[in-house]
Structure 1
Amino acid sequence: MYRTIARRLWIMLFALATPALAVADNTNGVSPDPAGIELASVHAAVADLDSGTVLYRKHERRVVPIASVTKLMTAMVVLDSGEPLGESLTAVKRDTPAANNAFTRIRIGSRLPRGDLLRLALMSSENHAAYLLARHHPGGFSAFVEAMNAKAAALGMHDTRFVGPSGLDTGNRSTAADLLVMLRAAEEYDTIREYTQTRRFLANFQHPGYTLHYGNTNVLVYRDHWDVGLSKTGYLNEAGRCLVMVTEIDGRRIGMVLLNSFGKRSPMGDAGRIRNWLRTGHGGAIAQAARQYEQRRAAAFEQTQHAEASIQ
């Protein structure tokens, strides 16, 4: 009970935190200097979740598309609804076309328990599974999205907006700072921790009966030298490669938010650089191509900001 109260207090305090950077000593006595690490992710935030200390920030207040990181909020809304996870839901077609490629292997008309759909959305980032969870929510799709935004507001995620449950729409936007709050809130849910840690899952659909194999989109969950407590990946052209994760490093629970990273494996590489940085004070270098990518993305962001300001 006391741990739960402490977690909720941490969420409220972090949501109200100022942008000032706080750096704390790690268990090896090393005080990591932000100058000692370089990340391929354009936007990032790293925190010690036990102390509530923010260890690193990089463009953490920029509002950007977040792709399938969205599904952590989707999961919280599903679980908050109290609807039974064992209830079988029917796969239906989308009311409107998806904003981006929404390929799915789920057959229209087949059925799968709500809990299994939630697991697929979290561990394998199955977009149609997320859509079905919203469609079968009490009040329907619109009510689900409203609940997502209400949850974000309640958590103090004031720079966050959701327009759908999967993250395919670039209208789902947030900041690294807000997502660190969301990550911390999601960690309170045992089901979310369990489902995002799932390495592989065999989904047994009914009416018609068939099975589909799914794997986790975060390769770090397969590696025994990584203790991943919760994670979610994401990707859109506009959002880049994204990873949010809770992991234990030398006895410390570390929350990482890595957005708009260069290259398919770059978020995992950044996670490794963060771990090295916390242990030694040095994270290592990134490729020149990643630096150039960040420069292009930063320039594009500034152009967008100027264009929006001129319209207003």
Structure 2
Amino acid sequence: MLKSALAIFTTLLFTVSGISPVQAQTASTNTKKTSSKKAPVKKAVVAKRPVTHSRVTKASLDNREKLVRKVTVVKGKRRVAYQRVSAAPSMPVVPPVMTAGDLAGLNLTQDPLALKSNVALVIDQANSQVLFEKNSTVALPIASVTKLMTSLVVVEARMNMEEVLTVTDDDVDREKHSSSRLRVGAQLSRDDMLHIALMSSENRAASALGRNYPGGLSSFVAAMNAKARSLGMMDTHYVDSTGLSSQNVASARDLAKLVVAAYQYPIIRQYSTDSKYQVEPSGHALQYNSSNRLTSSKDWDIGLQKTGFINEAGHCLVMMTRIDGRPIVMVFLDSKGRLSHVGDATRMRKWLTEDGQQNLTRVKMVRADQG
């Protein structure tokens, strides 16, 4: 009786839920079967990393992208693919700086010593004999060799050398933007300004010397040009007291005359050939060194010298020296390389010795035989 009542209740329940007793029994049976089976255990699959070989095959036409060939090996199968990638920006090619001498074609001039200077002149001061000459009449920018005329004008003006001069904003180089160890407001005597301008080519010192001339810088430049004319330097022209302007020009012939004139003053000889000098602008000690390493060499006997460099002029050097007891004037302009003018002076000195002359004679004889 209890089983009959339970059967009636079950029938009513399935009737209300919309499921027939047969469907319920079938679902129950399937559920038992499913639950009795164990779920398969999935094995973890470790994917192998693909082996990739890449190389650049060619660049695109605009040079901003490159086509890269990639070879990938996955599960033993080799796959090839091509991909465009951005190329690393290339460094801009900086063209070589052309000096005024190069633009004039002076670099095409050959000489027996293969000098790096486009212009050279060597004179025996004892008898004014020209020993070596190369493009010596061409007027070129002379850079800080200008300061040799600056010193000559200052010395001949006989101004108070102990007068204290102040570096101002007007002395700051706004043309080449060159650096200086003398800050605006620094104070030095005229004597110290002249010393470091000659020895170390201090631009602000040279500017202060010209600016503190009676009448100012314009009067000083006029005095420089007047002095050049009085020395017979007809290919020479100055526009400032520093040489930073490429409009300061002269020929090697003219500069040889300037060297001889400046050599007459002991103060110019001493200051230009000192290898070291210390100044104290506004009480702060500064050690300056010569711009010409030959002044500290025991192999050289230099009585006067001045170097110079700007891009338009190349490296320049003028000297009064003694070689085998002879007073020799050397002028080198528009030399290529930081120490090339010094190297040219060394080659020239060797050539002027007896051994050098003998070697040159032998070279000429060989060339004559080959010709």
TM-score by length of structure 2 reads: 0.65
Q: Does 1:274 align with 2:363?
A: no
Q: How does 1:30-45 map to 2 (within 5 A)?
A: 36-45=112-121
Match of 2:273 in 1: 197
Measure how far apart 1:86 and its partner are. Answer: 1.3
Match of 1:263 in 2: 337
Output the CA distance in 1 between the equivalents of 2:358 and 2:246. 31
SS, match of residue 99 in structure 1? coil
Output the CA distance in 2 between the equivalents of 1:95 and 1:271. 32
Output the CA distance in 1 between the equivalents of 2:286 and 2:323. 34
Alignment-mate amino acid for residue 327 of structure 2:
R
Instruction: Provide, for residues 175-208 of structure 1, a one-character-per-residue CA deviation record: whole Å limited to 9, x for no partner.
Output: 11111111111111111000011111111112xx
Aligned pair partner of 1:118 in 181, 194, 201: 194
Match of 2:105 in 1: none
Aligned pair partner of 1:69 in 124, 140, 145: 145
Range that drifts further, 99-108 or 67-76: 99-108
Instruction: Provide, for residues 83-130 of structure 1, a one-character-per-residue CA deviation record: whole Å limited to 9, x for no partner.
Output: 011111111111785321231111222210101000100000000000
RMSD: 1.8
Output the CA distance in 1 between the equivalents of 2:126 and 2:197. 28
Output the CA distance in 2 between the equivalents of 1:275 and 1:246. 12
Measure how far apart 1:37 and its partner are. Answer: 2.9
Q: Does 1:175 align with 2:255?
A: no
Range that drifts further, 163-172 or 274-283: 274-283
Match of 1:137 in 2: 213
Output the CA distance in 2 between the equivalents of 1:53 and 1:203. 40
SS, match of residue 235 in structure 1? strand
Q: Would you say the 8 A contact 2:141–2:312 is kept in 1?
A: yes
Q: Would you say the 8 A contact 1:44–1:258 is kept in 2?
A: yes
Q: Does 1:213 align with 2:291?
A: no
Output the CA distance in 2 between the equivalents of 1:215 and 1:51. 34
Determine which structure has more spread, i.e. the larger CA radius of gyration.
Answer: 2
Q: Would you say the 8 A contact 1:276–1:283 is kept in 2?
A: no
Measure how far apart 1:35 and its partner are. Answer: 6.4
SS, match of residue 133 in structure 1? helix
% same residue: 45
Gaps of 5+ in 1: 1-33, 286-312
Residues 1:195 and 1:99: Cα distance change in structure 2 (over 3 Å):
same
Alignment-mate amino acid for residue 67 of structure 1:
A
Residues 1:87 and 1:77: Cα distance change in structure 2 (over 3 Å):
same
Q: How many residues align?
A: 250
Match of 1:244 in 2: 318
Q: Would you say the 8 A contact 1:71–1:167 is kept in 2?
A: yes
Instruction: Provide, for residues 212-258 of structure 1, a one-character-per-residue CA deviation record: whole Å limited to 9, x for no partner.
Output: 11000100011111111110000011100111011110100110000
Output the CA distance in 2 between the equivalents of 1:36 and 1:240. 21
Match of 2:236 in 1: 160
Output the CA distance in 2 between the equivalents of 1:97 and 1:230. 26
Alignment-mate amino acid for residue 37 of structure 1:
L
Output the CA distance in 1 between the equivalents of 2:335 and 2:358. 16
Measure how far apart 1:138 and its partner are. Answer: 0.8
Output the CA distance in 1 between the equivalents of 2:165 and 2:119. 37
Match of 1:227 in 2: 301
Output the CA distance in 1 between the equivalents of 2:213 and 2:359. 46
SS, match of residue 56 in structure 1? strand
Gaps of 5+ in 2: 1-109, 361-371
Residues 1:38 and 1:91: Cα distance change in structure 2 (over 3 Å):
same
Range that drifts further, 266-275 or 144-153: 266-275
Output the CA distance in 2 between the equivalents of 1:75 and 1:166. 11
